[in-house]
Amino acid sequence: NQQGVMDFFSDGRVAYMEQVGTRFQLFQHSLAPGAFPTPLRLGPMSNPAYMPLPPDRRLMTYVAQPHDGSASAGIGSAGPVCPCIYVDLVPGTSAPIVAAKRFFRPAQWSRDGSRIYYQSDGTLMTVAVRTAPRLTVGTPEPLFKLPPGATLMDVFLDDSFLLLVPQLSAVEPPIAVWTGAIASTQR
């Protein structure tokens, strides 16, 4: 079966997706000898992917088709039903909560696990997430407009962001800079 590693738990378990029939499902698997995989998400789900875990590893986000078949706009918008970003407990034993329907890239967690960040229509968005007294997901809020072509790559410990921002357009020739250090390695 086709498999893809999504993230790791601090105790050494691997979070991954695996093709089961014509769909993908989320699993966790200990790397201890003789261990067997167990589902991370119980119940029906349509092709989950892109599943980062927050630092405390008690929650997960993933991208999947809406469970009710409703349409939305997001990654893979070529089809009539587009994926959503879900927030769920680990393991998911109740209904997951839709955090976003319009997005460009999958969500990233804040370092304290209290919010997720994602890109939508050229804007960096945030959604508050709480686990007590039960799992609740807030309303998406815009943080700031992103530079053209920017991609959210990571969230740092202080909740600052690593953005990949292209600096050259396809019509501009690249600039090559040679120094003595580089030239000496070419000999």
pLDDT for the residue numbered 185: 52
| 71 pLDDT more than 60 | no
Number of H helices, E strands in the chain: 1, 15
Tokens representing residue 32 in the block: 């201890």
pLDDT for the residue numbered 42: 66
- Contact between 61 and 52 (Cβ < 8 Å): yes
* Cβ-based neighbours of 47, under 8 Å, separated by 6 or more: 23, 24, 64, 65, 83
User: What one-letter code names the amino acid at 63?
Assistant: V
- 161, β-bridge pairs: 155
Query: pLDDT (tens digit, 9 = 90+) per residue, 23-38?
Result: 788 889 998 899 999 8
- Asked whether the CA dihedral 40, 43, 49, 50 is positive or negative, the reply is negative
pTM over 0.85: no
pLDDT for the residue numbered 102: 80
SS3 185: helix
- Contact between 108 and 99 (Cβ < 8 Å): no
- Contact between 65 and 71 (Cβ < 8 Å): no
Tokens representing residue 147 in the block: 């530079």
Query: pLDDT (tens digit, 9 = 90+) per residue, 4-13?
Result: 888 888 888 9
Output DSSP code: residue 75. T
Give the mean model confidence (pLDDT) for residues 86-112. 85
Give CA separation, 125 vs 56, 62, 136, 163, in Å: 22, 16, 17, 14
pLDDT for the residue numbered 178: 60
Q: Nearest-CA neighbor of 61 among 77, 41, 79, 80?
A: 41
Q: Nearest-CA neighbor of 66 among 76, 56, 57?
A: 76
Give the mean model confidence (pLDDT) for residues 51-76. 69
Query: pLDDT (tens digit, 9 = 90+) per residue, 125-161?
Result: 999 999 888 889 999 999 999 988 888 888 888 888 8
